[in-house]
């Protein structure tokens, strides 16, 4: 259950990109976006990032913001979006 609005919206974006077949049975905020989680590859992660930019009206810095740590889980991505002023 995700009662945090940013977390829930990021989760929705990720599930839409991953599709029903790759979304794990019980995904949570700490489910990995990549291996052993949603299995998103680099190109699909970019799809998620662009969708989040549109959803939250934020812009990322490709050099400093998008790291394995910030793109590890729905929670870490939501934290990045909040740090960029996304509501």
Please give the Cα distance from 11 to 9 (Å, whole number): 5
Instruction: Check: CB of residue 46 under 8 Å from CB of residue 53.
Output: no
Q: Which of 14, 49, 58, 80 binds other proteins (CB under 8 A)?
A: 49
Which residue from 4, 22, 85, 87 is in contact with other proteins, where contact means CB under 8 A? Answer: 22
Residue closer to other proteins (CB basis): 6 or 52? 52
Quick one: which segment of 8-16, 23-31, 43-51, 78-86 binds other proteins (CB under 8 A)?
A: 43-51
Work out whether 63 is an interface residue with other proteins (CB under 8 A). Answer: yes
- Chain residues binding other proteins by CB under 8 A are 21-22, 34-35, 39, 41-43, 45-47, 49-50, 60, 62-63, 65-68, 71
């Amino acid at each position: 259950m995700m009662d945090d609005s940013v977390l829930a919206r990021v989760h929705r974006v990720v599930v839409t990109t991953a599709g029903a077949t790759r979304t794990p049975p019980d995904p949570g905020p700490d489910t990995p976006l990549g291996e052993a989680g949603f299995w998103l590859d680099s190109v699909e992660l970019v799809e998620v990032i662009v969708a989040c930019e549109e959803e939250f009206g934020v812009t990322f810095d490709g050099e400093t913001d998008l790291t394995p740590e910030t793109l590890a889980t729905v929670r870490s991505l939501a934290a990045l979006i909040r740090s960029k002023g996304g509501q």
